[in-house]
């Protein structure tokens, strides 16, 4: 059967502007019609077609010039298209040729690729994938919001879902149907260079945010397929460096790292990308237990599994568990891989075919993977459109997409310290900045849009200013806009500024006329190995700048633009106020200025624990033994800022937490009422974070487990109640047999400093 006609008619439907009948849903279609269709396509496929379907190459492999050194302007190479898509029948292409393109350029690339693919015997369209991790990051002019760590700080899942829907709209508008997002790695180590790509350290927060993002991508007006990555155990390497070995006992894997993947799989996620690293001595790309026993059997995942970049080859090149490329392919396919992100050579499909012909891989195993790939293409509607995602009939106005990103930036900004040591009236908080005096703005991230956006923005590392969207402001530009040009004195420095620069800044400062200094601290963008560090202490020059300004006797406000908590415990007491901005994106500068000025009452909450010392990073759910000790003089749990921290310009107190009973039976749902009182003068959005505490358990319990959270607005002066329902079945943990278990006994629930105790008993026999 030749399917080109079907595809091409779909294609023309796309090119005349989209008909609503073309709209697919990405949620997997389980109908017999789909199974019959997929089977009918599979029956027409030769082994060569199948091996091609399982191959993914990078865009450079079909462009004019050398891969990763393309000729400019980037353009498709017809000979390579023929070789890759028609002769080798490659089923998927990813990435950009090194930097962002306009939607029109994207259409040119992707329609050229799809037209070439339509020439192969089966005519199966190509599945194009991209990293659009905080908006359509490789589409020029796209709306870029906060990176995931900032999105997590909003604790606003509805907003995150909307933001992901909008990202999908702009990805689709570029002709791309598949996104390598969200990252569901749980950030347990601040040294890890992809900390900022996560939703933080709490499995529950990561799960809820992950589900919101998957639904946003897959169920919005312009659905694209989500990819859960990097499955699993990537975020906790022993050294803290990218792609270095992790040792994670199965109990911890199931307790901490798997739950977000499980939740997002239940939410219908279409695909999963595998962790490039090794866990317990086995590279995950070769680990049948993780990729098949756990993923397929325990978690019930039916979607498609793609490798990360070059990771099959790395089984022999880096990990040394395979003697050569061919053995590595055999190993990975048997472990459970469906598609290989090769992405830069043409050998994969040929070697895969040889393995089948030699009987080392069965054709039935190949069919399993190809069926999953075809199913995904079907769910995305690609067979109807010829490979492009069906676009929207009416694109929402750019302003509405910008509104959501700007809102997310505002909600993410987290006020971590606001003291009165230098306030006009002593004891008053230093923020918001009132008055009329001059404000010194300085620091290496003050005038950099890239510093606000982070990696995977325009380019892989996100550092090249060429791909910034013109007109999007840097922090100092927004400070001028919000406070007025004449109030801002700007002393710009780059990341490598010296003591001489610090001396210049302080020499030129008039402490009488300067109301305060706002110092923009942080890091320049990075991702993956390029962000690995030897030490997470904040750079000396930034700490010296704060100390020198403090020495002038003016209030110093620190604003941190960066994705991981670098330590600065000696400098911190010299900050009168400290604002965590994360990587807030293109609208982040304005959000920061609006928070500093008080135009917006901050509501962000820290989604991780900020360590006080570089070697003392513990998470909120540490064990009791980490708390022992002040008396024994060991360092007890004493972070700089605790998980969930975040102040506002009002004061919301948690006054009580109450239950309907003090004894519950297994299976009951606990009804919890939390009372809040806003004793301040501004209406405030409060995130109520509920923790459970298992008093005694057969596996040492954590001091706290995040169980639920809710956001409410508490008007000035008001007292309100917030209700939670927590199932007793959710009070368990991974027990001695590495299975989930709930043990009866004494429990507590906590919101801030309010706690309540109850007893959990086995169901009584006379229960109906």
**Catalytic residue (one of 308, 338, 594, 621):** 308
**Length, in residues, of the chain:** 768
| Segments of 83-126 assigned E as strands | 92-94
Q: Is 208 left (phi over 0), alpha (psi -120 to 50) or beta?
A: alpha
Task: Find the shortest distance in angstroms from Cβ 182 to ligand BGC.
Answer: 11
Q: How far is the CB of 285 from ligand BGC (least distance, A)?
A: 12
610 binds ligand BGC (CB under 6 A): no
Nearest distance in Å: CB 77, ligand BGC: 21
Whole-angstrom distance, CA of residue 673 vs CA of residue 655: 11
Token output for 673: 């009422």
C-alpha dihedral sign at 601, 604, 609, 615: negative
Judged by DSSP in three states, 408 sits in helix
Return the number of the residue (100 or 657) whose C-beta is nearest ligand BGC.
100
> Given the complex with ligand BGC, which of 13 and 167 has the nearer CB atom?
167
* Cβ distance to ligand BGC smaller for residue 309 or 490: 309
* Binding residue (CB under 6 A) for ligand BGC from 55, 56, 92, 95: 95
How are beta strands 556-561 and 652-659 bridged, if at all? Answer: unpaired
Q: Is the omega angle on the peptide bond into residue 434 within 30 degrees of 0, that is, cis?
A: no
Measured from the CB atom, is 193 or 611 closer to ligand BGC?
193
Q: Compute CA distances 75 → 70, 72, 95, 270, 578, whole Å.
A: 9, 8, 14, 30, 47
**Min CB(273)–ligand BGC separation in Å:** 6
Number of residues that bind ligand BGC (CB under 6 A): 9
- 180 forms part of the interface with ligand BGC (CB under 6 A): yes
Structure tokens at 125: 């369209």
Cβ neighbours of residue 502 closer than 8 Å, sequence gap 6 or more: 541, 544, 545, 548
> Binding of ligand BGC at residue 131 (CB under 6 A)?
yes
Task: Please tell me whether residue 490 binds ligand BGC under the rule CB under 6 A.
Answer: no
Which of 50, 107, 229, 422 is the binder for ligand BGC (CB under 6 A)?
Answer: 229
C-alpha neighbours within 13 Å on the C-beta side of residue 327: 9
Give the C-alpha separation, 14 to 22, whole Å: 8
Question: What is the rounded (10 degree) CA torsion for 695, 701, 704, 706?
Answer: -120
Shorter beta-carbon distance to ligand BGC: residue 341 or 689: 341
Minimum Å gap between C-beta 228 and ligand BGC is: 11
Q: Output 181 or 543, the one with its CB closest to ligand BGC.
A: 181
Question: What beta strand segments (E) does 629-718 contain?
Answer: 652-659, 663-665, 669-678, 684-694, 705-714
Query: Measured from the CB of residue 394, what is the shortest distance to ligand BGC in angstroms?
Result: 31
Nearer to ligand BGC, 123 or 455 (CB): 455
Residue (of 206, 189, 151, 170) closest to 583 by Cα position: 151
Q: Identify residues 256-295 at the interface with ligand BGC (CB under 6 A).
A: 273
Binding mask 296-335 for ligand BGC (x = CB under 6 A): ------------xx--------------------------
Least Å distance, CB 69 to ligand BGC, is 18
Cβ distance to ligand BGC smaller for residue 387 or 455: 455
Q: Which residues contact 129 (CB under 8 A, 6 or more apart)?
A: 56, 92, 93, 94, 95, 176, 178, 179, 180, 227, 306
Q: State in angstroms the smallest separation of the CB of 229 from ligand BGC.
A: 6
Q: Is 37 in the site for ligand BGC (CB under 6 A)?
A: no
User: How far is it, in rounded angstroms, from Cα 666 to Cα 664?
Assistant: 7
308 is annotated as an active-site residue: yes
- Where in the sequence numbering do the catalytic residues fall? 308
- Site residues (CB under 6 A) for ligand BGC? 94-95, 131, 180, 229, 273, 308-309, 528
């Amino acid at each position: 059967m030749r399917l080109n006609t079907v595809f091409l008619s779909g294609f023309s439907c796309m090119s005349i502007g989209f008909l609503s009948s073309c709209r697919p849903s990405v949620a997997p279609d389980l109908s017999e019609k789909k199974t019959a269709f997929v089977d009918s396509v599979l029956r027409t496929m030769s082994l060569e077609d199948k091996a091609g379907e399982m191959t993914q190459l990078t865009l450079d492999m079909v462009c004019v010039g050398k891969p990763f050194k393309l000729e400019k302007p980037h353009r498709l190479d017809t000979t390579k298209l023929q070789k890759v898509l028609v002769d080798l029948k490659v089923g998927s292409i990813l990435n950009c040729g090194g930097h962002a393109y306009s939607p029109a350029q994207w259409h040119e690339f992707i329609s050229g690729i799809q037209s070439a693919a339509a020439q192969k015997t089966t005519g199966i369209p190509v599945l194009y994938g991209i990293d659009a991790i905080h908006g359509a990051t490789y589409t020029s002019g796209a709306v870029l919001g906060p990176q995931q760590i900032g999105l997590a700080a909003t604790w606003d899942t509805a907003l995150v879902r909307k933001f992901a829907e909008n990202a999908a709209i702009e990805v689709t508008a570029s002709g791309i149907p598949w996104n390598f997002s969200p990252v569901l790695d749980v950030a347990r180590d601040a040294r890890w260079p992809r900390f900022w790509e996560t939703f933080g350290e709490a499995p529950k927060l990561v799960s809820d945010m992950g589900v919101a993002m998957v639904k946003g991508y897959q169920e919005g007006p312009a659905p694209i397929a989500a990819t859960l990555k990097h499955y699993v155990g990537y975020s906790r390497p022993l050294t803290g460096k990218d792609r270095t070995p992790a040792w994670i006992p199965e109990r911890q894997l199931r307790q901490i790292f798997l739950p977000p993947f499980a939740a997002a799989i239940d939410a219908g996620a279409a695909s999963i990308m595998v962790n490039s690293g090794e866990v317990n001595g086995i590279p995950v790309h070769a680990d049948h237990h993780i990729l098949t026993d756990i993923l397929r059997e325990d978690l019930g995942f039916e979607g498609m599994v793609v490798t990360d970049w070059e990771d099959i080859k790395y089984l022999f090149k880096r990990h040394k568990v395979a003697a050569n490329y061919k053995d590595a392919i055999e190993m990975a396919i048997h472990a459970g891989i469906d598609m290989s992100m090769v992405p830069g050579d043409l050998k994969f499909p040929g070697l895969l075919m040889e393995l089948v012909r030699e009987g080392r891989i069965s054709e039935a195993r190949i069919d399993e993977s190809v069926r999953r790939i075809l199913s995904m293409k079907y769910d995305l509607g690609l067979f109807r459109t010829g490979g492009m995602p069906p676009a929207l009939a009416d694109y929402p106005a750019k302003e509405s997409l910008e509104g959501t990103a700007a809102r997310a930036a505002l909600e993410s900004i987290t006020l971590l310290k606001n003291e009165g040591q230098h306030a006009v009236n002593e004891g008053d908080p230093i923020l918001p900045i009132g008055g009329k005096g001059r404000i010194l703005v300085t620091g290496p991230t003050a005038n950099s849009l890239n510093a606000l956006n982070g990696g995977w923005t325009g380019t892989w590392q996100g550092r090249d200013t060429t791909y910034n969207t013109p007109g999007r402001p840097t922090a100092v530009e927004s400070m001028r806009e919000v406070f007025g040009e004449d109030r801002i004195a700007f002393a710009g420095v780059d990341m490598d500024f010296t003591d001489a620069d610090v001396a210049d800044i302080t020499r030129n400062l008039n402490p009488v006329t300067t109301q305060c200094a706002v110092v923009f601290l942080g890091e320049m963008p990075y991702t993956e190995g390029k962000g690995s560090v030897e030490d997470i202490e904040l750079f000396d020059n930034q700490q010296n700048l704060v100390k020198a300004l403090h020495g002038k006797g003016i209030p110093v406000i620190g604003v941190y633009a960066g994705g991981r908590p670098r330590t600065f415990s000696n400098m911190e007491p010299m900050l009168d106020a400290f604002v965590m901005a994360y990587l807030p994106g293109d609208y982040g500068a304005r959000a920061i200025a609006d928070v500093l000025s008080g135009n917006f009452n901050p509501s962000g909450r820290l989604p991780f624990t900020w360590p006080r010392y570089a070697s003392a990073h513990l998470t909120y759910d540490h064990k009791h033994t980490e708390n022992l000790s002040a008396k024994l003089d060991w360092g007890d749990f004493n972070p700089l800022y605790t998980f969930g921290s975040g102040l506002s310009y009002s004061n919301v107190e948690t006054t009580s937490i109450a239950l309907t009973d003090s004894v519950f039976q297994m299976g009951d749902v606990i009804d919890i009422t939390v009372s809040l009182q806003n004793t301040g003068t501004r209406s405030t959005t409060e995130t109520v974070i509920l923790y459970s505490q298992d008093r005694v358990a057969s596996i040492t319990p954590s001091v706290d487990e995040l169980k639920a959270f809710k956001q409410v607005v508490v008007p000035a002066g008001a007292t309100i109640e917030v209700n939670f329902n927590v199932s007793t079945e959710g009070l368990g943990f991974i027990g001695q047999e590495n299975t989930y278990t709930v043990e009866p006994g004494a429990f507590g629930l906590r919101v801030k400093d309010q706690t309540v105790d109850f007893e959990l008993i086995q169901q009584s026999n006379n229960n109906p």
